[in-house]
Chain A
Amino acid sequence: MGLLSSVFKKNVSEEPQKPAAAPAKSADVPKTTETTKKEVKPVVDKITVGHIHMSGCTGCLVSLADNYGGLLTILDRYADLVYGLTLADVRHIPKMDVALVEGSVCINDKLSVEEIKQTREKAAVVVAVGGCACYGNITRFARGGQQNQPAHEAFLPVGDIIKVDVYIPGCAPTPQMIRNVCVMAYLLLKGTKEQKELATNYLKPLMMAAQRGTTACFCDLMTEVINQGLCMGCGSCASACPVRAITHEYGKPQGVRDLCIKCGACYNQCPRSWFSFDVVPAYEAINEAIMAALQ
């Protein structure tokens, strides 16, 4: 597919602002050599991204950082980090293209509520990153009483306070998933028509997940997959569960529900919760494109 190669050229060889550089022009050898000689700052066409930290454990941020070199490439070529606790020296939430929100919202904390509302106003796309932001996750079990804010006891997933566009479930969300969504968000906002289509298809199930609701747990596998007669016993849920609460008995998932932290990973990893024939069969080309984008 080589979908991202054109994006690349566009970034490295200046002139990202000129819409659709004529193919004849790019074939013009002397011109291109001239342009590459210039000091190139491939920043013009980046998207702006912020990391908004609500009540979470920072595991999601660590996951983002765990892309190592990939993260640097993303920040180098595709995205500018305009807001982020400890990472960007910015006090107030600025305007941005994509807000990555980690953690659930403590509704007893005025500032949190204020900030999440601002996030919605300032960001074109709000992405809930991780189990807490999507579904409440472990913060669903919070009962307050902790020092030094014992009255901070009520936590809601981001989607219960503002409209969320994209979900990245998982506790912690995987570095690869965050990376994929970042690259796809870039393609969606800055890519060619073909790339936009790919990104839309890729993000669609994650957008549907955001629309679906703000609760998730092992029970979703029961009500939406097994009870619906869709489970075929592949084992994805058991491997996805971060707390090993799922085993298989006679080829069907059994959950120890007391262990379940309500992160939603099992349900979302299940190929029978959602499966896109527009995207998954092209796995080879998409994986290659993403890897090429991060070279």
Chain B
Amino acid sequence: MGTELGNYKTCVSARSTNKKLLKHSQDGGIVTHLFAFALDEGIIDGAIVAVSKEFALKNPSKCMAFNPTLDDLEPWRPIPAIVSTKAELLAAAGTKYNISPNVSLIKEATRSFGLDKVGIVGTPCQMQAIRKLQLYPIGARDVGASIALAVGIFCMENFPYQSIVQLVEDHAAMKMEAVKKMEIGKGKFWVYGKRGQVVQLPLKVTHKYEQPGCHVCLDYVANLGDISTGSVGSPDGWSTVFVRSKIGDSVWAKAVAAGCFETQPIDKVKPGLELVSKLANEKITKNKTTLEGRKTFGVGKALRSPYI
């Protein structure tokens, strides 16, 4: 295995020991339980997560101050919000499969929300944004040192909200309001209805709805998170966890010692790291090709590459 999985200190398969939490979580409840633990221990005093409209309506002050008309928000629109209790975290659990600009709150968290130790969850690109912001804090005065825990989630690609509507309402023929959970796994896009119906779409259908900006991304497993996690590589209901930085290492060790998670060695589970590696390489190879293609996109004109 090469560099596709990034630097990491340890990698395990894990799930939360809180059964109630697992009912709400996407897979192993890693992000939710980890933040809950970090809040309890004072490692963070608030976390930036993606919440739903219902939460936003109940707690408008926790969301972006200038979110104009919360009433108009659609179901399954993620809204970046700053939460500071376990109950709030639980309300935000689960993957939303469309874009939540979590980093947009990172400065505000240290300003009007008054946090000194911020937790943030995000996709690999958002982890890149966080680290760029720490090293090159151009518009982020005194923010970098306040980021106490950044949890990255595995990400093959993301969807604009309207793409999700297209997939759920047109392809899966379900109402957005009626969806209980969405999931990508086993080569399919799964939509679970609140009444128990399940629709699966082949991933081939979803490709054309992907966000174009994702096609230049060279990171699958959130290489720059303190800890990164995702379902790939672990059995159903479990998550693969990479512990990457010193901060991540210390928080994870404490959380496991406190009994937040049960873990198994990653080489003992199926399908294991091999699948993670395979998918990471697939993504990176595909997107490197896209980046190459951008160089000769026009006639003697290239599209811009962000990487230097």
Q: Which residues of A contact B (CB under 8 A)?
A: 63, 168-170, 172-177, 180, 202, 204-206, 208, 224-225, 228-242, 244, 246-248, 250-252, 265-266, 268-277, 279-281, 283-284, 286-287
Residue pairs across A and B with Cβ atoms less than 8 A apart, 6 shown, are A176-B141, A232-B125, A235-B104, A242-B139, A271-B125, A280-B128
The closest CB in chain B to the CB of A231 belongs to B213
In the complex, what distance in Å separates the CA atom of A275 from the CA atom of B224? 13
Contacts of B14 in A (CB 8 A): none
Known: A266-B139, A280-B132, A283-B135. A251 touches B99 (CB 8 A): yes
Nearest opposing residue in chain A for B303, CB measure: A228
B158 in contact with A235 (CB, 8 Å): no
**B307 lies within 8 A of A230 (CB):** no
Query: Do B246 and A273 have beta carbons less than 8 Å apart?
Result: no
- Taking the nearest CB of chain B, how far is it from the CB of A267, in angstroms? 9
B137 touches A176 (CB 8 A): yes
Once the chains are docked, how many angstroms separate the CA of A276 from the CA of B135? 11
Known pairs A234-B129, A275-B308, A276-B308; A281 contacts B223 (CB<8 A): yes
B103 within 8 A of A: yes
Stretch at the interface among B29-37, B105-113, B187-195, B230-238: B105-113
Given A230-B216, A232-B214, A233-B100, 6 more contacts at CB 8 Å?
A234-B125, A239-B107, A248-B101, A250-B161, A252-B99, A287-B144
* A contact residues around B131 at 8 Å (CB): 280-281, 283
Q: Does B142 contact A (CB under 8 A)?
A: yes
Q: Is the CB of A275 within 8 A of B307?
A: yes
Tell me the bound Cα distance from A132 to B99 in angstroms.
33
Contact A240:B139 (CB < 8 A) given known A233-B211, A247-B66, A275-B132? yes
Inter-subunit contact A238/B129 (CB<8 Å): no
Min distance, Cβ A57 to any Cβ of chain B, angstroms: 16
Q: Are A174 and B107 neighbours in the complex by a CB distance under 8 Å?
A: no
B94 part of interface (Cβ distance < 8 Å): no
Q: Is the CB of A235 within 8 A of B80?
A: yes
The digit string for B277-308, where 1 denotes a CB below 8 A from any CB of A, is 00000000000000000000000000110111
How many angstroms between the C-alpha atoms of A208 and B305 in the bound complex? 13
* Partner pick for A274 among B77, B98, B306, CB 8 A cutoff: B306
Given A251-B98, A280-B135, answer yes or no on A273-B306 (Cβ-Cβ < 8 Å).
yes
Chain B residue numbers with a CB within 8 Å of A277 are: 218, 307
A271, B308: Cα distance in complex, Å: 11
Contact B122 A234 (CB under 8 A): yes
B residues lining the A interface (CB < 8 Å): 6-7, 64, 66-67, 77, 80, 98-108, 122-123, 125-126, 128-129, 131-145, 158, 160-162, 211-218, 223-224, 245-246, 303-304, 306-308
B103 and A170 contacting across the interface, CB-CB below 8 Å: no
CA distance in complex: A168, B136 (Å): 9
Per the bound structure, the CA–CA distance linking A198 and B77 in Å amounts to 42
Please measure, in the bound complex, the distance between the C-alpha atom of A63 and the C-alpha atom of B139, giving whole angstroms.
12
Chain A's nearest CB lies how many Å from the CB of B91? 21
Query: A244 vs B214: C-alpha distance in the bound complex, in angstroms?
Result: 26
Contacts of B106 in A (CB 8 A): 235, 239
B98 surroundings in chain A (CB, below 8 A): 251
A170-B135 CB under 8 A given contacts A232-B217, A250-B99, A271-B125: no
Does the CB pair A208–B308 fall under 8 Å? yes
B307 lies within 8 A of A240 (CB) = no
Cα–Cα distance between A109 and B116 once the two chains are bound (Å): 45
Q: Are B128 and A271 in contact (CB under 8 A)?
A: yes
Q: Give every chain B residue within 8 A of A270 (Cβ-Cβ).
A: 129
CB–CB A239/B138 < 8 A: no
Q: Give 9 nearest A-B pairs by CB, closest first.
A: A251-B99, A240-B139, A235-B104, A235-B101, A265-B139, A232-B213, A238-B104, A235-B103, A233-B99
Q: Could you tell me if A272 and B308 are in contact, using CB atoms closer than 8 angstroms?
A: no
A230 to B80, CA, bound (A): 21
Nearest chain-B residue to A170 (Cβ)? Answer: B138
Closest residue of chain B to A233, judged by CB?
A: B99
List of B residues within 8 angstroms of A236 by Cβ: 103-104, 129, 132-133
Query: B301: shortest Cβ distance to chain A, in Å?
Result: 12
B305 to chain A: closest residue by CB: A230
Expressed in whole angstroms, the minimum distance between the Cβ of B199 and any Cβ of chain A is 24
Q: A228 to B304, Cβ gap below 8 A?
A: yes
The answer to whether A280 and B213 touch (CB under 8 A), given A175-B141, A265-B139, A271-B132, is: no
Distance (Å) between the CB of A275 and the closest chain B CB?
5
Q: Which residue of A lies closest to B135 (CB)?
A: A283
Would A280 and B224 be within 8 Å (CB), given that A238-B104, A247-B66 are in contact? yes
Report the minimal beta-carbon distance from B39 to chain A, rounded to whole angstroms: 22
Q: Are B304 and A230 in contact (CB-based, < 8 A)?
A: yes
Chain B contacts for A225, CB-based, 8 A: 306
| B218 partner residues in chain A, CB cutoff 8 A | 277
A266 and B304 alpha carbons, distance in the complex (Å): 17
A239 to B128 alpha-carbon distance, docked (Å): 15
Instruction: Indicate whether A239 sits within 8 Å of B135 (C-beta atoms), given known contacts A247-B66, A269-B140, A271-B129.
Output: no
Instruction: Look across to chain B and name the residue whose beta carbon is closest to the beta carbon of A282.
Output: B135
Q: Chain A contacts of B80 at CB under 8 A?
A: 235
